[in-house]
Amino acid sequence: MVINFAAGPAKLPEEVLKEVQTNLLNCNGSGISVMEMSHRSSNYAKIQETAIADLRELLNIPQNYKVLLMQGGGTGQFAASALNLIGSTGTADYVITGSWSAKAAKEAAQYGKVNAVLPKLASYTTVPRQSTWKLDPNAAYVYYCDNETVEGVEFDFVPEVKAPLVVDMSSNFLSRPIDVSKFGMIYAGAQKNIGPAGVTVIIVREDLIGKHLKVTPSILNFELMDKNNSLLNTPPTFGIYVMGLVFKWIKANGGVAGMSQRSKAKSQIIYNIIDQSNGFYYCPVERQVRSRMNVPFRIGSSTGNEQLEKEFLAKAEAEGMIQLKGHRSVGGIRASLYNAITLEETQKLAKLMLEFYENNKN
């Protein structure tokens, strides 16, 4: 049995994959696969409408928020968020705490002025407290990434700002309860925590729709997407179908609160081993902002012993634990503990870490 600790595209719940397998040739009694189904058909309409309704229930999304299902992943939303929102003042605040927020800021700078509210950090290992931020009172919105997948940094607070708050939640979406009303816009690429690659969920307050720049492509235009019920073009029907099944799986397993409890328990198991290893395992991230989703660590020292890390990865793969190698930009090891990773699977990784420590600590 393989355990997939990939950062994305990531593991999906086994129950969901089995249901997909069972219905692949005959989806919901239609006689055809969902991959062949017209996006204008009543059969598909029910799939999409149910998925959106379940998401609204899971997050208790207020009625004055629209749910859009779009393509282009998180990277597409780097552009879409700016194109749709920056036009009201021409400037936006960006809180850069990792690789993805840095890329988002660079993209937005093509469409308006970007104000980096923090000095450039020497390394992405912390989230500076909001009291240190230099916000622009003229900003159309304040942008941040709630969980930086590469560096393993996760916000431990929701910023309190006057401008609409825009957040990338791609890698921790539906892993803990949130108050949607605190945000102007939330988006999440599905492939990290809620489905296969190809779908991006956007939750946007309706008063922010219709303010897009004239150059906004139709495919990224929130107003057009809303008017067409996310069917302006052919949506990623298969991805939306699978995502809908994941929403039902979350509902059946304690909802978002249940996912939050699991996430805390799983990540704590791994962090405890790191912290109790006398420096053999090293996590560079400050404790209060350590990610529950992506746990990065080095072996042997703070800069890593490449030989030991190669041996660890080889041993993990031999035991069926795959895709634990850290992002190419930072190296080391990274265990991604998304919702679909079980407590038992996490414990198997913990067992390997303890054994490897005992065999190599000297």
For the annotated catalytic residues, the residue numbers are: 100, 168, 192
Q: How far apart are CA 59 and CA 119, in angstroms?
A: 34
Residue 343: other Cβ atoms inside 10 A: 12
Short-list 201, 203, 199, CA closest to 236: 199
Q: How many other CB atoms sit within 10 Å of the CB of residue 285?
A: 23
DSSP one-letter code for 64: T
Query: At residue 153, what are phi and psi to the nearest 5 degrees?
Result: -110, 125
* CA distances for 361 relative to 278, 287, 346, 358, angstroms: 9, 23, 22, 6
Contact by Cβ (8 Å): 45, 240: no
Mention every residue, 6+ apart, whose C-beta is less than 8 A from residue 76. 70, 200, 220
**Does residue 297 contact residue 267 with C-beta atoms inside 8 Å?**
no
